[in-house]
């Protein structure tokens, strides 16, 4: 991903959810002057439609430039020909482990219990990251698997509460964690008392955090 533009998004849900929507009643405008009707229309119908209020934020989106991080120069190491897949997978595994460590560092600083890595969530997060890279999209809704919660159902994951953070363009675990922590919605997922398990995925600067509470 070229340039210094990085993007992050968050979504969360708690079950059961409580929702409510505003309603309106008809108003008798008989014998009302045109100017009064116009004023009434401007006052009550130029506003946005009533929104559904959910227990936890459903979607939070932030698109803002992130300061570029200078790449670290390393000495190339030629991997053994017999194990090329291990050499390729190692950075991904290291990056995802670092993200979990950074998450628990933030939770500990906030006086919260750490989250535990879950293999099934790691697999889901890795699949979502690869799905975004392969299909060239950046969204909580996958064209392949649907919403994060539909995807969890496909992977056989049950939960009491669940959330997902995604990011694109950040080059290091620290950079993506800084972006997430600077965004209220993502920070809320990371520091939520409702979550006690985590899965992390990374693929070519696409990042995914999956959280669940049981």
Closest CA to 206 of 123, 126, 119, 145: 126
pLDDT of residue 195: 98
pLDDT of residue 190: 98
Kindly state the tokens that stand for 201: 């995925």
pLDDT of residue 93: 78
pLDDT of residue 70: 30
For the chain, domains (ranges, CATH) are 95-213 (3.40.33.10)
pLDDT of residue 63: 38
Confirm if 66 and 183 have CB atoms less than 8 A apart: no
Instruction: Measure the CA–CA gap between 5 and 2, rounded to whole angstroms.
Output: 8
Per-residue pLDDT of the chain (214 residues; tens, 9 = 90+): 444 456 677 767 655 433 223 333 344 444 545 455 445 445 444 443 332 222 333 333 333 333 333 333 333 434 445 444 444 455 677 999 999 999 999 999 999 999 999 999 999 999 999 999 999 999 999 999 999 999 999 999 999 999 999 999 999 999 999 999 999 999 999 999 999 999 999 999 999 999 999 9
Q: Alpha helix locations (H) across 110-146?
A: 119-135
Confirm if 200 and 208 have CB atoms less than 8 A apart: yes
Instruction: Measure the CA–CA gap between 149 and 128, rounded to whole angstroms.
Output: 12
pLDDT of residue 13: 64
């Amino acid at each position: 991903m070229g340039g210094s533009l990085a993007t992050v998004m968050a979504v969360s849900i708690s079950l059961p959810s409580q929702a409510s929507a505003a309603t309106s009643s008809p108003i008798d405008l008989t014998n009302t002057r045109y100017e009064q009707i116009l004023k009434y229309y401007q006052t009550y119908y130029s506003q946005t439609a009533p929104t559904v209020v959910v227990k936890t934020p459903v979607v939070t989106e932030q698109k803002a430039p992130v300061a570029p991080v200078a790449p670290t120069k390393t000495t190339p190491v030629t991997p053994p020909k017999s194990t090329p897949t291990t050499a390729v997978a190692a950075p991904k595994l290291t990056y995802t482990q670092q993200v979990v460590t950074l998450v628990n560092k933030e939770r500990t600083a906030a006086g919260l219990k750490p989250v535990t890595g879950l293999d099934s969530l790691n697999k889901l997060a890795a699949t979502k990251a690869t799905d975004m890279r392969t299909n060239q999209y950046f969204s909580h809704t996958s064209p392949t698997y649907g919403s994060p919660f539909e995807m969890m159902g496909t992977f056989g994951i049950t939960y009491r509460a669940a959330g997902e953070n995604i990011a694109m363009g950040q080059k290091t675990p620290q950079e993506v964690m800084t972006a997430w922590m600077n965004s209220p919605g993502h920070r809320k997922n990371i520091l939520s008392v409702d979550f006690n398990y985590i899965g992390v995925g990374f693929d070519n600067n696409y990042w995914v955090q999956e959280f669940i509470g049981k």
